[in-house]
Structure 1
Amino acid sequence: MNGPLKRAALACLLMFGLLMINVNYLQAVRAEELRDDSRNTRNFFARYEVERGRITAGDKVLAESVDTGDQEFRFQRRYPEGKVYAPITGFFAPESERDIERAENSLLDGSSADLLIRRSIDLFTAKQTKGANVDLTINPRAQEAAYKALGESGKKGALVAIEPKTGAILAMVSIPTYDPNPLSKPSKEDVNAAYNKLDEDEDQPLLNRAIERTYPPGSTFKVVTTAAYLESDDTVGPETQVDAPQRLDLPNTTADLPNSGGAACGSGRVTLSFALEKSCNTPFGKIAMDLGYDAMRDQALKFGIGGDPIEIPLPVAGSTIGPEADQAALANAAIGQRDNQMTPLQMAMIAAGIANNGVVMKPYLVNKIADSEGGEVDSANPDELDTAMSEDSARKLQEMMVNVVNKGTASAAQIPGVTVGGKTGTAETAQGRAPHAWFISFAPAEDPKVAVALIVESGSAGSDASGGQTAAPIAKSVMEAVLGR
């Protein structure tokens, strides 16, 4: 072969090699970037070619794809009861997804490897591939009761209800909410306008307050302090006498810890149950200082506070009792103030763990997944997160929480014929602002079917808001819905 032919052959080989490198680079390295590029109109149209699976809860369809008859935008997402379930379902938009629509996207659009057999069958039978259906653990009666009680009252806040024995989430409401239907239109211009309006709303309707925001838990956290005390000594119980001064002297500061309104707590020495029933501050501040930060941190961790990130499968903001500081900070953290920050989901897990004899289950939202023909792809497998306390300690704490409802600050949560356990909380916020109103509960105490955590945000329930008067009646309506009352 002469020189020119050799050089031509070498040049062709080099160009072919460069072409192959470029093809592999585009397909392997930049594939996702190019697929998600907003200028990729092919990807835009392709999102509407597939009939996404339904999202359901019980007998309710929460999200479905409807045939528009348009060849370019054939299927559009529809949310029949959008505002009620929006914090859970999220939305499917031209360029993005949110919440369950995002977390289970590959199943809903049929691209998941778990659906390979179904896609192969559809290909062989010339059927159009459809996405899998995602069934949630949500109890529609409980969800709608929570939405009505919290949402229609003009309050801001969040509620989470959990089945204590499994960790299944029965209700998750965040108020204010939004309608996901305008965000599912196959029009970038319309969707962007609708989204920007929601995003700029100072009430933050797109924020899922149940799992994406933390708050000081106030006196509801006293159940964790009580759990730590019970676990520290098996002789401690509801009738154990504890110091309850009108003001607790805190070391290295002139700002002592008072009870609510500066009131006395009994005669200055009361039973542990009485202290919880009346939600005194000073006994729990002293208990925490006596136990020390490590004991409080370890007890909190057993309830899931400060541990590994939680996904349900939606990501959940981390809760914390705050860093180790001085004794004064610890006393305030023990009553749910200072740097103590909790999500409503975390507080529901605490209530559920106590109700479940000390065993905290991992919370989850997805009940089962089925392909388009009804074949099961996956189903929930309840799993333990941790044992927060012994069964003996849990039963003592259950008894005290029942006393809180029967003869303490949470009488508004009483349900005739049902033994309810609970704890109220009124959490201070910024100086000059009204407090948050909290309530956590479970029922029936003998065989718990539901645990609830609820927060009504500062300012949305009046200046005299309290966990007992403001939050407990809302939680009661949700417990009644789960129990069929």
Structure 2
Amino acid sequence: MNAPLRRLAMIVTAMFTALMVAATWVQFVDAGRLRDDPRNSRTLYEKLGRERGAITTADGTVIAQSEKVDDRYQYQRKYPKGDLYSAVTGTFSVTTGASGLEAAEDKYLSGTSDRYFFRRVSDLLTGTQPSGAVVETTLRDSVQQAAADGLGNQQGAVVALDPKTGAVLALYSSPGWDPNALASHDRSAAAQARAALEAEDSEPLVSKATRQSYPPGSTFKLITTAAALESGDYTADSLLDGPAELTLPQTSRTLANDDDRPCGTDGKTSLADALRVSCNTAYASLGMTLGQDVLREQAEKFGFNAGFDIPIGVAASTFPTGLDGAQLARSAIGQDSVTATPMQMAMVAAAIANGGVVMQPNLVRTVRGRDLEVLDAPSPDERGRAVSRQTAASLTAMMEGVVESGTGRRAQIPGVSVAGKTGTAQTVAGAAPHAWFTAFAPADDPKVAVAVLVENGGNAAQEASGGSVAAPIAKSVIQAALAAPSSGSAG
């Protein structure tokens, strides 16, 4: 064979080899990614061509279900509660695929989980129409409704947790959005609905409970207090300097208390009283004394600086590095570059309520197949210990003081001891502050921990504070949680 033919043979061989490698890659190595791509219409037709499993609350309220329809998709996804649970369910869309719990639990809802293998074989042999599993969440409908009613037309979020198990009792983001509009089989209408939502300044498609983080303001003082108590150098009775204003290090700027007055007699206040009245200057000084490494380590023990799934994704809350003195002082009171999701601040309260142990938040109670067999039932999962049991007890007593005679009075519930902390977080210049409240109850035997965020003061605008705006919402959510009938262990 002459040289040109040899070269041609080599090129043809190389081309065939490349073709075989590409075909093998597509059919085997990359098959899973291509199958799960939301733009893959064949996969979408296959999933919509079977009855997708329902999503329910722990008390049996259906929040997502499939209905038989006479079109090429065969089943239409419906959301009976509309925007009330949109931050939880997400949607199952013919245009953009799945989001929220619809995406996180898709393998069960669509019936494609490996646990369905023998069921799929049986359905094939018997001619039975395949269907997905029912995902029962840990949510309580009455608690979720209380969160929505409390926020009303205000933008913000509410998260309620079972401190002992991490079960999510409520997860609400306002404004919500209608998943039915995006689940429409009319691709043009669904695309227009999504474009309209994406154009809104309030960003309803972004869950304010789990995906958006904010300066936590004075609710972060719980973490600064925890760090002080854990150091062994402070108790609830330790005296701190609480002047009317504090000059920040290496600057000419000052940090003042909300009422522009000193805290305590002669500008001296106990740690417990500093938390009760939310004394900024005392906590700024305390944070600088403790140091940024101590504060960051304490924040991370509560869950900061790490994202996680519940199984929907929760964005990481942040405590930054490389702070100068002024930044550290402001960070100790939850300002500057410190950010937190409402889920994270609910976890802080829940950990204190749980004797210092942080539980992994979880939205899924059980997954059940067509014959009600349990396919999955997540067990309560400890993330780690944030503080000692003794520190948790001290924090609880101090938080009770906040509600009994401090900034959180509007969260008081007759006959129920409530432990809480207010927060009024400054944002950009000229904007109204965010109003926060995080709490748990009953303080002596906690059943629920809650975090409330009202963006930019809600209807109160510049006059807002965590105590006046967010605390009453938390009160109503706690009352609903304590009144809700138990449906067994919700892990």
Q: Give the TM-score, by structure 1 length.
A: 0.92
Tell me what 1:6 maps to: none
Tell me what 2:300 maps to: 301
Tell me what 2:73 maps to: 73
Give structure 2 stretches of 5+ with no counterpart.
1-11, 485-491
Would you say the 8 A contact 1:212–1:317 is kept in 2?
yes
Would you say the 8 A contact 2:91–2:102 is kept in 1?
yes
Would you say the 8 A contact 2:242–2:282 is kept in 1?
yes
Once the two structures are superposed, residues 309-333 of structure 1 have per-residue CA deviations (whole angstroms, 9 ceiling, x without a partner) of 2111111111112222212211100
1:271 aligns with 2:270: yes
Would you say the 8 A contact 1:220–1:336 is kept in 2?
yes
Tell me what 1:472 maps to: 471
How does 1:358-437 map onto structure 2 within 5 Å?
358-437=356-435
Would you say the 8 A contact 2:243–2:261 is kept in 1?
no
Once residues 21 and 409 of structure 2 are traced to their aligned partners in structure 1, the CA distance between those partners, rounded to angstroms, is 72
Once residues 19 and 455 of structure 2 are traced to their aligned partners in structure 1, the CA distance between those partners, rounded to angstroms, is 60
Amino acid at match of 1:117: F
Would you say the 8 A contact 1:322–1:341 is kept in 2?
no
1:220 aligns with 2:219: yes
How does 1:320-339 map onto structure 2 within 5 Å?
320-339=318-337
User: Residue 51 of structure 2: SS of its match in structure 1?
Assistant: coil
Once residues 257 and 39 of structure 1 are traced to their aligned partners in structure 2, the CA distance between those partners, rounded to angstroms, is 53
Residues 91, 39 of structure 1: alpha-carbon distance in 2 compared, 3 angstrom cutoff: closer
User: Residue 422 of structure 2: SS of its match in structure 1?
Assistant: strand
Once the two structures are superposed, residues 88-124 of structure 1 have per-residue CA deviations (whole angstroms, 9 ceiling, x without a partner) of 0000000411100011111111111122132233233
Quote the offset at 1:188 in angstroms. 1.6
Residues 242, 140 of structure 1: alpha-carbon distance in 2 compared, 3 angstrom cutoff: same
Structure 1 ranges of 4+ moved more than 4 A? 12-23, 32-41
Would you say the 8 A contact 2:433–2:462 is kept in 1?
yes
Given candidates 250, 253, 256, the residue that maps to 1:255 is 253
Amino acid at match of 1:137: T
Once the two structures are superposed, residues 317-362 of structure 1 have per-residue CA deviations (whole angstroms, 9 ceiling, x without a partner) of 1111222221221110000101110111000000001111111111
Residues 237, 32 of structure 1: alpha-carbon distance in 2 compared, 3 angstrom cutoff: same
Residues 41, 232 of structure 1: alpha-carbon distance in 2 compared, 3 angstrom cutoff: closer
Give structure 1 stretches of 5+ with no counterpart.
1-11
Once residues 459 and 303 of structure 1 are traced to their aligned partners in structure 2, the CA distance between those partners, rounded to angstroms, is 26
Would you say the 8 A contact 1:118–1:371 is kept in 2?
no
1:24 aligns with 2:24: yes
Once residues 322 and 13 of structure 1 are traced to their aligned partners in structure 2, the CA distance between those partners, rounded to angstroms, is 56
Once residues 338 and 316 of structure 1 are traced to their aligned partners in structure 2, the CA distance between those partners, rounded to angstroms, is 22
How does 1:83-482 map onto structure 2 within 5 Å?
83-95=83-95, 96-150=97-151, 152=152, 154-233=153-232, 236-267=234-265, 268-306=267-305, 308-461=306-459, 462-482=461-481
Amino acid at match of 1:119: R
Once the two structures are superposed, residues 253-292 of structure 1 have per-residue CA deviations (whole angstroms, 9 ceiling, x without a partner) of 1112211142221221111111111111011111111111
Amino acid at match of 2:411: A
Once residues 16 and 209 of structure 1 are traced to their aligned partners in structure 2, the CA distance between those partners, rounded to angstroms, is 53
Quote the offset at 1:173 in angstroms. 0.5
Q: Give the TM-score, by structure 2 length.
A: 0.91
Amino acid at match of 1:466: S
Quote the offset at 1:62 in angstroms. 0.7
**Identical columns (%):** 45
Would you say the 8 A contact 1:450–1:482 is kept in 2?
yes
Would you say the 8 A contact 1:52–1:64 is kept in 2?
yes
Amino acid at match of 1:104: E
Once the two structures are superposed, residues 103-154 of structure 1 have per-residue CA deviations (whole angstroms, 9 ceiling, x without a partner) of 111111111112213223323332111111111111111101101111x2x2
Quick check: 350-359 or 40-49, which moved more? 40-49
Residues 113, 392 of structure 1: alpha-carbon distance in 2 compared, 3 angstrom cutoff: same
Once residues 14 and 247 of structure 1 are traced to their aligned partners in structure 2, the CA distance between those partners, rounded to angstroms, is 76
Quote the offset at 1:385 in angstroms. 0.9
Would you say the 8 A contact 2:457–2:469 is kept in 1?
no
Quote the offset at 1:20 in angstroms. 5.8
User: Residue 462 of structure 2: SS of its match in structure 1?
Assistant: coil
Once residues 358 and 318 of structure 2 are traced to their aligned partners in structure 1, the CA distance between those partners, rounded to angstroms, is 17
Once the two structures are superposed, residues 400-437 of structure 1 have per-residue CA deviations (whole angstroms, 9 ceiling, x without a partner) of 00000000011110011100000001000111111000
Once residues 18 and 270 of structure 1 are traced to their aligned partners in structure 2, the CA distance between those partners, rounded to angstroms, is 76
Once residues 84 and 280 of structure 2 are traced to their aligned partners in structure 1, the CA distance between those partners, rounded to angstroms, is 37
Tell me what 2:48 maps to: 48
Quick check: 348-357 or 251-260, which moved more? 251-260
Amino acid at match of 1:171: A
User: Residue 369 of structure 1: SS of its match in structure 2?
Assistant: strand
User: Residue 242 of structure 1: SS of its match in structure 2?
Assistant: strand
Quote the offset at 1:203 in angstroms. 1.5
Would you say the 8 A contact 2:237–2:272 is kept in 1?
yes
Once residues 37 and 157 of structure 2 are traced to their aligned partners in structure 1, the CA distance between those partners, rounded to angstroms, is 35
Once residues 223 and 39 of structure 1 are traced to their aligned partners in structure 2, the CA distance between those partners, rounded to angstroms, is 46
Amino acid at match of 1:83: D
Would you say the 8 A contact 2:432–2:456 is kept in 1?
yes
User: Residue 158 of structure 1: SS of its match in structure 2?
Assistant: strand
Once residues 215 and 64 of structure 1 are traced to their aligned partners in structure 2, the CA distance between those partners, rounded to angstroms, is 34
Would you say the 8 A contact 1:433–1:459 is kept in 2?
no
